[in-house]
Amino acid sequence: MSPEAYHFDTLALHAGQSVDATQSRGVPVYRTTSYLFKNTEHAANLFALKELGNIYTRLMNPTTDVLEQRVAQLEGGAASVAFSSGTSAIFSTVVTLAEAGDDIVSATNLYGGTYTQFEAILPKLGIRVQFVDAKDPGSFERAIGPRTRALYIETIGNPVLDFTDVQAVARVAHDHGLPLIVDGTFTTPYLLRSIEHGADIVINSLTKWMGGHGSAIGGIVTDAGRFDWNGGRHPLFSEPDANYHGLRWATDLPEPLAPLAFALRLRTVPLRNLGACVSPDNSWIFLQGLETLPVRMARHCANAQRVAEHLAAHPQVAWVRYPGLKDDPSYALASRYLHNGFGGMVVFGVKGGYEAAVRLIDRIELFSHLANVGDAKSLILHPASTSHSQLTEEQQRASGLTPDLIRLSIGLEYPDDIITALDEALATAG
């Protein structure tokens, strides 16, 4: 059996590692900043991209390389580039394909930090972001202008876990010669390989389920390797790059590298010169997490499904959103795409509104009250009084966030214990 034929669970354990001269079974951590050149010709070739190899850990590192190859195979992509955070992975992706005067078209229902980056930071650098409704692929089409460089979506959105029709948005993107960027953090490649549905670039925050233990911050970008950057919409790829000896990324790379134009420019321009590199130690932590991604995700999904069904029948609960509930507005779409479960996030409204929500959070045992998702432990947050408290109630409601909304990231605890913790807190919150 050839390694290419391995199933996802097998790749999660083995992909990307070739056992080295030490015969070390675990992936070694290469804690080094730099690498010896064999001679001056070797050094010159590395800098001119005539030969690929290690120069400096800001650009590449053997431990991080295993992580990048493993994620590329799990996503079914051509190459991946790791970053110090999901946030820096997103920023680096955008500035690889857009510059001042350009714009991208993005869904509105984004992770909060991404929304702020798109709404407040990118425009100050001259990159406009046009926000559209993720539920309406036509709204992406209507927003595309002459200097649009990409479309951007998340698979499962914020705050109410609406599922996005990846294929429909990909079709709009490709009809207009644009790449589709997908943030797949909430699904991970175990639940959804967006590249199979038309995504050209997939971003994951490794901080969440892929790392899976709430112990390190990181992000990774995967290039499907099939977008035509010479289609007329991407001068950063089709015009000579003054910083790389006049290289035209879309047309001048030698054959084996040609499909990797985006991943190479991402590594050699923003990663190299803006510098948001992951540490080799964190790459090792993410590799450790990825080994168990399939078994963990299966359990996250089973536990979340059980919690969502329990809450839906609970007298103290006003409403529940989980894409795996049969009467959820996202169920029909999500069940067309997701065959291994519907993710680890559940949101619900508690009867009694804001006050009851705050009381519930203060009383709940077992759940950790903090601002993260995708930990092995169950997490809880009341966005209205924390992450979104700077917005007015009207602004909150406009983004789908109601005062009674409680966000759960369901962990790997024994399911009955999770349910009991919720029941006890609900009994005293109302």
Which positions lie near ligand PLP, rule CB under 6 A?
85-87, 111, 113-114, 154, 183, 185-186, 205, 207-208, 217, 219, 373
Measured from the CB atom, is 186 or 249 closer to ligand PLP? 186
Measured from the CB atom, is 186 or 284 closer to ligand PLP? 186
CB of residue 233 to ligand PLP, shortest distance in Å: 25
C-alpha atoms less than 13 angstroms from C-alpha of 370 in its C-beta half-sphere: 12
CB of residue 215 to ligand PLP, shortest distance in Å: 12
CB of residue 373 to ligand PLP, shortest distance in Å: 6
CB of residue 203 to ligand PLP, shortest distance in Å: 7
- Asked whether the beta carbons of 298 and 340 are under 8 A apart, the reply is yes
Measured from the CB atom, is 140 or 209 closer to ligand PLP? 209
Give the angle 23-28-29 at the CA atoms, nearest 5°: 165
CB of residue 299 to ligand PLP, shortest distance in Å: 19
Measured from the CB atom, is 411 or 429 closer to ligand PLP? 411
Distance CA 16, CA 65 (A): 8
Measured from the CB atom, is 148 or 205 closer to ligand PLP? 205
CB of residue 67 to ligand PLP, shortest distance in Å: 14
Which three-class secondary structure string do you get for the chain? CCHHHCCHHHHHHHCCCCCCCCCCCCCCCCCCCECCCCCHHHHHHHHCCCCCCCCECCCCCHHHHHHHHHHHHHHCCCEEEEECCHHHHHHHHHHHHCCCCCEEEEECCCCHHHHHHHHHHHHHHCCEEEEECCCCHHHHHHHCCCCEEEEEEECECCCCCCECCHHHHHHHHHHCCCCEEEECCCCHHHHCCHHHHCCCEEEEEHHHHHCCCCCCCCEEEEECCCCCCCCCCCHHHHCCEHHHCCECCCCCCCHHHHHHHHHHHHHHHHHHHHCCCCCHHHHHHHHHHHHCHHHHHHHHHHHHHHHHHHHHCCCCEEEEECCCCCCCCCHHHHHHHCCCCCCCEEEEEECCHHHHHHHHHHHCCCCEECCCCCCCCCEEECHHHCCCCCCCHHHHHHCCCCCCEEEEECCCCCHHHHHHHHHHHHHHHC
Measured from the CB atom, is 70 or 208 closer to ligand PLP? 208
Measured from the CB atom, is 52 or 121 closer to ligand PLP? 121
Measured from the CB atom, is 68 or 183 closer to ligand PLP? 183
254 prior amide bond cis, ω within 30: no
Closest CA to 130 of 198, 146, 333: 146
Measured from the CB atom, is 98 or 221 closer to ligand PLP? 221
Residue closest to ligand PLP when measured from CB atoms: 86
CB of residue 342 to ligand PLP, shortest distance in Å: 16
CB of residue 205 to ligand PLP, shortest distance in Å: 3
Take residue 367 and report the two structure tokens written for it: 């759940």
CB of residue 157 to ligand PLP, shortest distance in Å: 9
Measured from the CB atom, is 170 or 373 closer to ligand PLP? 373
Amino acid at 253: L
CB of residue 6 to ligand PLP, shortest distance in Å: 28
Measured from the CB atom, is 200 or 375 closer to ligand PLP? 375
